[in-house]
Structure formats: structure tokens, C-alpha cells
């Protein structure tokens, strides 16, 4: 039976040299692979973009015959190499009756099935994407699907008068408003104790229907803190108390009432504003010149202020209007009717400002200018904890939005579903501070080098705090010389541990090397055996030790966020770098590990690749050499590639296996136990750390210059690593120096 295939109607490519570098490399890999047979090479223009199409026939021995999923031993595929280098090549299954399986990308009806090869986002894939690995991933997809084994793991903060029950809350910036500013009162529902909370707000900031306030301000001469007085119950008692303290209430009342009516007078009204007498009380402990604090107490007059004005002689009423009595009476002292007007004493509170919040949190410093990358679960929790404490001046960058499952472990609220996370946290921050403590939100990708607002925020900060749950930003930031100090925080996938990486103030120790040193500690420490348990597989981003889209109690997020929020301000007081790990035990105990960070050494190979290792690793290499002298020694190198940033980072140097052969003039590495070492390294680091090359030492008195044997070994290693599309690395330890050689197959 002849199979029916979709035709993509591309234009045949005769000259392979005209293909993109990635397409040429993929073509070479196809022709070398015994399970792929090349059928055609074409170009296809869609919406102004030109994709390169490599159509192949793949035969996969691992696909069981007559499997339940309709996959065949032999399938025809088109490998689509997109124009954009930021996009991952796609795989289209051309057979018209190819089964529609769960692990496919969305495709229009009557079009080829688009295979979903990766769980990670494109950037995570492209960090280590090679044509050879891409072909192996295709075979893996077919085998796993045909067996029904391809699945994702589950994702998904002493007064002069006695206080009463009522409270008046002043704006945080009450002192900046000019005399005569119009205010209104917002009344909260009564509490169980029948007390009320009233919020004083500038009239231009709230609903105009709110009740207006006639505010009368009186300031006492300094009062020594001591006995608390019974609050007055009427204006006469209040006036006497204030006069005893050096302040005259009556003139202040008259001045305010007369200002209310002006020269033209005002008509009598049924509705009237509430009058608030605000008394400011400077308190001192021992010496009047040393004012320790300013307190306030308010007294409410729930009566027509114009009638009170008439009673105290400030106003008079004529033909239904109130006018100022200024200059008409020689004195108002005989107009005593006002003294019996009742008043309600109210405790005065004030909205927090950052300075008061820091005092309440026990923080001495205001904190740096911070740009937070990532407003996810941990990022929003840190912002909530540190922001509520008034620490730091914040800019937040994130491009993601709030989804329903986020609400189980994010600060966002239900009504913010669909809102960008940066806007959600900005709204919550503003709801807590009401303008006292602005937060700047940037709805963008922190990796976007073309976004001027993003780049300005990253450049002008005093600290960039990465809580992105991803490796891309910290690795990219490590490549930038003109950047502020960086810190990175994350929680392991099980929620059992939190990690904090902090660059030194001069950035001699960057996040890149702290990441490598963190991995080495995982490999060499007992606690590292299960530290990253719970990850989805051999990748981090999107399904990583920093990815919180897994089953994870919010309590653990908040517990670690509280710890990190407490430690970060403390660590920033030192210019030194820091690497901290906090791990919970099965009994709930918390164990802290302090790792000594080492400076980094960069060894440029060419314009596209630089090898990085830290001084701690160099010291280990030299120790192994000294221990083996007079013989040579060596072993394998563990590390990771990140082609997105042109980096090969060395993590660890494994000592010589037991079956190695060593003399004063030669070294032949054995194999004993190496496979288990490499597999264990991958397991402990969530698949990040792998075999990347070889190292060996030179004898006493010799430099690290390569010998002819070394070059021969490098050539052999280049061929070996070339099967994976990766560069070979050979490191030599000499008497006083180090050398790193790399090799790569050229197309």
C-alpha cells in the first residue's frame, strides 16, 4: 500500500553552500546518521520569512510493530530550519494519516503533524542544541510515544490624652499639604467593639460624594511625656486643656470658620462638613529642646461648623447666609455658647511611609536601588516581604501574566487573573502604600537587549536581583562588564532548599562562576546527593531546579522567601561575594551551608567561545598534580556548555581512575568507575553538568605547553566530541601555569 504524504511546495535548493550555517550542519548530521536518509532540500517562503526544509526518511528500530499509537517503523519527516536563530528547528510528519498524539504542537487541519520534542522553552533548548542531539531527540520521541511512555511530571508582614475606640488615619504625606487643602473622610464599617476607623484623604483623590472635612490645626508648645490626661468631652474643656499647654483654640477656630465663608459668605446648607480639630503635640523626655516625637490627637465636632462659628463669634447669619464677623465685634471672648459643643476624641494614626516601615522591621538602611528580574512565586514573595519593610527602591521586570494555577503560590489575587504579573505586584504594592513608596513595573523580557527601558533599569540599578527561575538572565548578565552587582535566588524543585548567590561589589566573582561552584559543591558534598531531587529531567529552564511550576506547597515558598528576605540585606552590607544554601531535613530542621566563593579565570578560545574556571578548581587541579608527583596524573573534566552566551564552564576535575597508568613522563587515563561518576554528576545537577573533556598534568619543572602526544590526544578527543557536535577541551597543569586547548570539527 502506497503512503500518502503532504507536499510542502518548497523550492529545491541546488547549491548547499547557500544554506544557513545551521541548515548545513543539520544536513551533514543527517547524512552521517545511519537511521536518517536524505530525500530533498528546499526553501519555503511564508509571510516574508524563508524556512529551509530538509526532508528525510527515518527508520527507528525502537518503534514496536503494530503499536497502539499508529507510529510506523519508517516515517517521512521534514526538518524545518527557521530563519530566526532564536527559534528551534521544527519536525513535521508528512504522512497524511500520521496519528494525532498529545505530544504534538498545534497544527491546522489538513496540515502535517508538528512534533513536540521538548518540554523546555526555546532558550533552554538552544543552550545546548546540536544537530546530532536533535536527530537523537527525534528518535527518542518516536520510541517513547510508540511505547506510551512519554509524559510530563506534574507542574503546575505615651500620649497626652487617653485613646478611645475611634481612630482617624492621616495620609502618609499629611505634612506636605498646604493650609486650606480640602479633605474628605472615608468611614470604615464599625468594628465589634463599636469603634470606627476614619480615613482622611485629599478631596481630589476620592469619590466627590464623600463627606468633606473642616480641618482645624493646633500645635502645642513642647510637652514633657508623663501623665496621661482624660480626653475632653466638649470644646470648652478642650480649649482649657490646650491653653494650659500654650495653645489657643478659639483664634484657630475663628480663623478657619471665616476662611470657609470668604468675603461673599455662603448659604446655609442641610448637609454640613465634619469639623476635625487636629492637635499636634511635640513630646520630649527630659529637655524641651530635644523633641523625641510628634504625636497627634483629633477631636470630632459633628455639628454644623457655621453654627459653631456663629456661637464662637467668628460668623453671623443674615438672610440665610453666613458671613465673616471679623472686625464687627471687638472681642469674641464673651461669646461662650461654643464651649458646650460636644467633641468626640479620636486616636490619630498615620499611614506608613518607608522610613517608618523600616523602623518597624528593625532595618537601619533604606536599601539599594533594586531591579528585580522575575515577578513569579518567589519574586513576588520577596517583593512583598522586603517592600512591606520599606527596604529598597524597586523596579520589576517580567513579561508573564497571572494564570489560575499561579494563585496557589503567588501574591496575585483572583481579580488579577490575566494581568501581567508586574502590574499585579505593582497594584498590590500600591494598595499597601498608596503612593508613599512607588514601584516601577516594566512589562518586558529582561533578556531583550533592544528594549531601552529594560536596559536602563538593568544598568542604573545598584543591585539586580534575579528571581526568574531560569538560567538565561544570570548567565547573560555575567557576560556584561558594565553592569551593577547581581544576586540570584531560587528554590529547589522539591521546595526543600533555597540558594542565594551574590556577586562581590566589584564583580570579580560573577553569577556564572557562582553557579559552577554551586554545582561542584553539590557533587562533592553529602547534602548534594538529593539536593535537586524532583526535577523533570536533564534541563533546568522551564522545568528546572528554579521552576516552581511543580507540586510545591506555598508554605515552603514563603518560608524560604522569608529567610532570603532576611539574609539579603545583611549580606549586602559586605562588599564580598556570597554563596549560601539552606536545606531542610526530613524532620523539618534547617541546615545552612556557607560556601567560600572563588574568583574566576576566563580563557578565550575564539570569538565564539570562552572557557571559564574558578580559582578553587585550579587549586584542586594543582593539589592533584602535587599529590601525584613525580608522576603525571589526569582525569576527566565536568562542566556545561551554553552556546547562547558562548561559554564553556568547567565545574570539576575528576581524579585519575584506579586503572590509570602513570609515570614521570606519561599518563594514560583508565576507565574504572568513570561512567558512574558522569551519570551521578548529571543526576545530582538536574542534567546540567556533563563530561566536557580531559585534563592531565606535566611533570616537575615543565610548563603547560602541549606536547605532540597532547596534540594527538586533542585530535582524538575532537573526533569523539564531534559526534555530539560539541567542542573538545583539553586542560594541562604545568609547574606554574595552566593551558586550555580546544578542538572542533569544521564543516
Of 376, 584, 321, the residue nearest 489 (C-alpha) = 376
Residue 529, domain CATH: 3.40.50.720
**For residue 613, which phi and psi values (nearest 5 degrees)?**
-145, 160
**Looking at the domain assignment, is residue 4 inside a domain?**
no
Peptide bond into 630 cis (omega under 30): yes
Tell whether 569 and 644 lie within a shared domain. Answer: no
CA distance between the termini of the chain:
40
- 588 and 609 in a single domain? The answer is no
- Judgement on whether residues 679 and 736 belong to the same structural domain of the protein: yes
| Residue 568, in any domain of the structure | yes
SS3 (DSSP) at 307: helix
Residue position matching grid coordinates 551574590: 502
> Cell numbers 567561545 label which residue?
609
d(CA 210, CA 223): 35
Is residue 172 in a domain?
Answer: yes
Boundary-marking domain end, from 351, 382, 417:
351
Whole-model pTM: value is 0.81
Pair 738, 621: CB distance under 8 Å: yes
- Asked which of 574, 595, 616 is the last residue of a domain, the reply is 595
Map residue 151 onto helix, strand or coil: coil
* Residue 426 · residue 397 · CB < 8 Å: no
Domain boundary among 537, 569, 595: 595
Is position 2 within any domain? no
Residue 162: inside a domain: no
pLDDT of residue 545: 47
Together in a domain, 385 and 331:
no
Do 316 and 249 fall into the same domain? yes
Are residues 682 and 563 part of one domain? Answer: no
Same domain, 661 and 588: no
Same domain? For 606 and 591 the reply is no
Q: Is residue 157 part of a domain?
A: no
Q: How far apart are CA 638 and CA 640, in angstroms?
A: 7
Q: By residue range, what is the domain housing residue 409?
A: 367-595
| Best CA proximity match to 479, nearest among 509, 452, 517, 512 | 512
Examine residue 316 and state whether it is found in any structural domain, yes or no. yes
Which of these, 112, 72, 116, lies nearest to 90 by C-alpha position? 116
CATH code at 81? 3.10.110
Residues 375 and 491 in one domain: yes
Q: Which of 363, 297, 305, 321 is nearest to 157 (CA)?
A: 363
Strands (E), 285-320: 291-301, 315-318
Whether residues 591 and 604 fall in one domain: no
Q: How far apart are CA 659 and CA 664, in angstroms?
A: 17
d(CA 742, CA 556): 44
* Average pLDDT by stretches of 10, the chain with 747 residues: 84 89 94 94 84 93 87 93 90 91 74 89 91 95 85 44 77 82 84 86 78 81 63 86 81 86 82 82 76 84 86 86 77 66 88 93 94 97 97 97 92 95 97 94 96 97 96 95 96 93 97 98 95 58 47 89 96 97 89 96 89 96 95 96 94 95 92 95 94 94 90 89 88 92 67
Q: Which CATH number covers residue 651? A: 3.40.140.10
Q: CA 347 to CA 386: how far, in whole Å?
A: 29
pLDDT at 431 (0 to 100):
94
Beta strands in 509-608 (DSSP E): 578-584, 590-595, 600-606
Measure the CA–CA gap between 619 and 595, rounded to whole angstroms: 15
Same domain, 279 and 378: no
* Number of domains within the chain: 4
Q: Is residue 258 part of a domain?
A: yes
* Dihedral (Cα; 239, 245, 247, 253), 10-degree rounding: -20
Residue indicated by cell numbers 469674641: 332
| 440 and 494 within one domain | yes
Amino acid at each position: 500500500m502506497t503512503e500518502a504524504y503532504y507536499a510542502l511546495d518548497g523550492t529545491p535548493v541546488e547549491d548547499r553552500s547557500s544554506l544557513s550555517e545551521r541548515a548545513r550542519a543539520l544536513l551533514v548530521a543527517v547524512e552521517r546518521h545511519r537511521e536518517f536518509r536524505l530525500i530533498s532540500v528546499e526553501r519555503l517562503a511564508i509571510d516574508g520569512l524563508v524556512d529551509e526544509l530538509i526532508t528525510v526518511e527515518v527508520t527507528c528500530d525502537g518503534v514496536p510493530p503494530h503499536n497502539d499509537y499508529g507510529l510506523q517503523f519508517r516515517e517521512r519527516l521534514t526538518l524545518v530550519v527557521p530563519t530566526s536563530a532564536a527559534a528551534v528547528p521544527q519536525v513535521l510528519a508528512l504522512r497524511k494519516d500520521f496519528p494525532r498524539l498529545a505530544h504534538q504542537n498545534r497544527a491546522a487541519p489538513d496540515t502535517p503533524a508538528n512534533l513536540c520534542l521538548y518540554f523546555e522553552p526555546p532558550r533552554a533548548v538552544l543552550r545546548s542544541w546540536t544537530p546530532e542531539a536533535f536527530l537523537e531527540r527525534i528518535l527518542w520521541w518516536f520510541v517513547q510515544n510508540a511505547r506510551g511512555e512519554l509524559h510530563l511530571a506534574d507542574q503546575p508582614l505615651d500620649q497626652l490624652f487617653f485613646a478611645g475606640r475611634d481612630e482617624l488615619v492621616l495620609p502618609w504625606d499629611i505634612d506636605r499639604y498646604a493650609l486650606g487643602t480640602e479633605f474628605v473622610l472615608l468611614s470604615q464599617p464599625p468594628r465589634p467593639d463599636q469603634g470606627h476607623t476614619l480615613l482622611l484623604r485629599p478631596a481630589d483623590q476620592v469619590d466627590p460624594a464623600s463627606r468633606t472635612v473642616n480641618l482645624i490645626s493646633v500645635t502645642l508648645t513642647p510637652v514633657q511625656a508623663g501623665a496621661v490626661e482624660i480626653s475632653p468631652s466638649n470644646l470648652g474643656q478642650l480649649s482649657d486643656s490646650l491653653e494650659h499647654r500654650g495653645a489657643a483654640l478659639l483664634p484657630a477656630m475663628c480663623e478657619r470658620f471665616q476662611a470657609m465663608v470668604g468675603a461673599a459668605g455662603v448659604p446655609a446648607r442641610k448637609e454640613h462638613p465634619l469639623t476635625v480639630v487636629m492637635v499636634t503635640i511635640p513630646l520630649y523626655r527630659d529637655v524641651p529642646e530635644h523633641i523625641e516625637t510628634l504625636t497627634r490627637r483629633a477631636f470630632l465636632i459633628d455639628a454644623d461648623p457655621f453654627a459653631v462659628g456663629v456661637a464662637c463669634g467668628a460668623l453671623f447669619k443674615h438672610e440665610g447666609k453666613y458671613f465673616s464677623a471679623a472686625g464687627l465685634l471687638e472681642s469674641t471672648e464673651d461669646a461662650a455658647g461654643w464651649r458646650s459643643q460636644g467633641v468626640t476624641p479620636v486616636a490619630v494614626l498615620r499611614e506608613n511611609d518607608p522610613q517608618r516601615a523600616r523602623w518597624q522591621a528593625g532595618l537601619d538602611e533604606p536599601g539599594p536601588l533594586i531591579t528585580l528580574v522575575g515577578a513569579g512565586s518567589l519574586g513576588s514573595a520577596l517583593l512583598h516581604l522586603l517592600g512591606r519593610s520599606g527596604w529598597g527602591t524597586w523596579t520589576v521586570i517580567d513579561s508573564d501574566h497571572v494564570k489560575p494555577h499561579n494563585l496557589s503560590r503567588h501574591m496575585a489575587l483572583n481579580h488579577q487573573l490575566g494581568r501581567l504579573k508586574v502590574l499585579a505586584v505593582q497594584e498590590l504594592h500600591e494598595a499597601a502604600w498608596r503612593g508613599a513608596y512607588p514601584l516601577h513595573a516594566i512589562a518586558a523580557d529582561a533578556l531583550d537587549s533592544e528594549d531601552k527601558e529594560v536596559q536602563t533599569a538593568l544598568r542604573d540599578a545598584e543591585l539586580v536581583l534575579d528571581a526568574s527561575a531560569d538560567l538565561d538572565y544570570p548567565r547573560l548578565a555575567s557576560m556584561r562588564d558594565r553592569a551593577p552587582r547581581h544576586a540570584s535566588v531560587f528554590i529547589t524543585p522539591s521546595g526543600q532548599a533555597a540558594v542565594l548567590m551574590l556577586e562581590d561589589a566589584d564583580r570579580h566573582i560573577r553569577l556564572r562562576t557562582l553557579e559552577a561552584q554551586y554545582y561542584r559543591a553539590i557533587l562533592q558534598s553529602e547534602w548534594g546527593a538529593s539536593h535537586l531531587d524532583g526535577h523533570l529531567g536533564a534541563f533546568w529552564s522551564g522545568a528546572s531546579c528554579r521552576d516552581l511550576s511543580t507540586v510545591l506547597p506555598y508554605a515552603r515558598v514563603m518560608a524560604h522567601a522569608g529567610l532570603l528576605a532576611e539574609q539579603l540585606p545583611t549580606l549586602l552590607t559586605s562588599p564580598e561575594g556570597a554563596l549560601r544554601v539552606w536545606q531542610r531535613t526530613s524532620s523539618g530542621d534547617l541546615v545552612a551551608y556557607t560556601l567560600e566563593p572563588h574568583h574566576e579565570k576566563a580563557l578565550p578560545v575564539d570569538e565564539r567561545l570562552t572557557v571559564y574556571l574558578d580559582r578553587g578548581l585550579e587549586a584542586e587541579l594543582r593539589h592533584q598534580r602535587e599529590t601525584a608527583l613525580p608522576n603525571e596524573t589526569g582525569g576527566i573534566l565536568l562542566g556545561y556548555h551554553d552556546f547562547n552566551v558562548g561559554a564553556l564552564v568547567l565545574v570539576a576535575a575528576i581524579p585519575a581512575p584506579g586503572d590509570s597508568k602513570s609515570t614521570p613522563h606519561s599518563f594514560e587515563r583508565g576507565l574504572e568507575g568513570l561512567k558512574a561518576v558522569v551519570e551521578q554528576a548529571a543526576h545530582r545537577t538536574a542534567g546540567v553538568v556533563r563530561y566536557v573533556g580531559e585534563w592531565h598534568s606535566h611533570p616537575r619543572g615543565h610548563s603547560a605547553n602541549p606536547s605532540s602526544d597532547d596534540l594527538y590526544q586533542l585530535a582524538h578527543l575532537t573526533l569523539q566530541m564531534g559526534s555530539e557536535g560539541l567542542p573538545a577541551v583539553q586542560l594541562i597543569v604545568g609547574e606554574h601555569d595552566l593551558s586550555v586547548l580546544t578542538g572542533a570539527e569544521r564543516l
